[in-house]
């Protein structure tokens, strides 16, 4: 999950014209762990091992896309793009 946190923090900071710092990394990690990862786990798209801090696709890319499309169909008004 370290790579995902770093990339998300870099993207977030760049949108504000800044560079990622420790606070940004901590904030992004917390948001991912609390808000974004659980729905993806529930949908069967990813698996997250909190002890090892690893996040991985639960299925092939094609399978993940199918599961995301199914989850999006069940949650009108939400965006999973």
How confident is the prediction along the chain (81 residues), in pLDDT tens digits per residue? 888 898 988 888 888 888 888 888 999 999 999 999 998 888 888 889 989 989 988 877 788 788 778 877 887 665 544
In a domain, 81, yes or no: no
Report how far apart the first and last C-alpha atoms of the chain are (Å, whole number): 20
Q: How far apart are the C-alpha atoms of 6 and 3, rounded to whole Å?
A: 5
Q: SS3 sequence, 36-58? A: HHHHHHHCCCEEEECCCCEEEEC
In a domain, 80, yes or no: no
Q: Which residue has the tokens 């094609």?
A: 62
Please spell the DSSP secondary structure of 19-38, one letter per residue: ---HHHHHHHHHHIIIIIHH
In a domain, 25, yes or no: yes
In a domain, 24, yes or no: yes
Domain count, the chain: 1
Put simply, whether the predicted model's pTM sits higher than 0.85 gets the answer: no
Q: 19: domain range?
A: 2-74
In a domain, 66, yes or no: yes
């Amino acid at each position: 999950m370290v790579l995902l946190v770093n990339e998300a923090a870099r993207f977030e900071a760049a949108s504000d014209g800044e560079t990622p710092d420790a606070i940004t990394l901590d904030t992004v990690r917390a948001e991912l762990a609390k808000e974004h990862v659980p729905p993806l786990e529930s949908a069967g798209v990813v698996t997250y091992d909190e002890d090892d801090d690893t996040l991985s696709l639960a299925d092939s890319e094609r399978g993940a896309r199918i599961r995301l499309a199914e989850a999006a169909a069940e949650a009108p008004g939400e965006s999973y793009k």
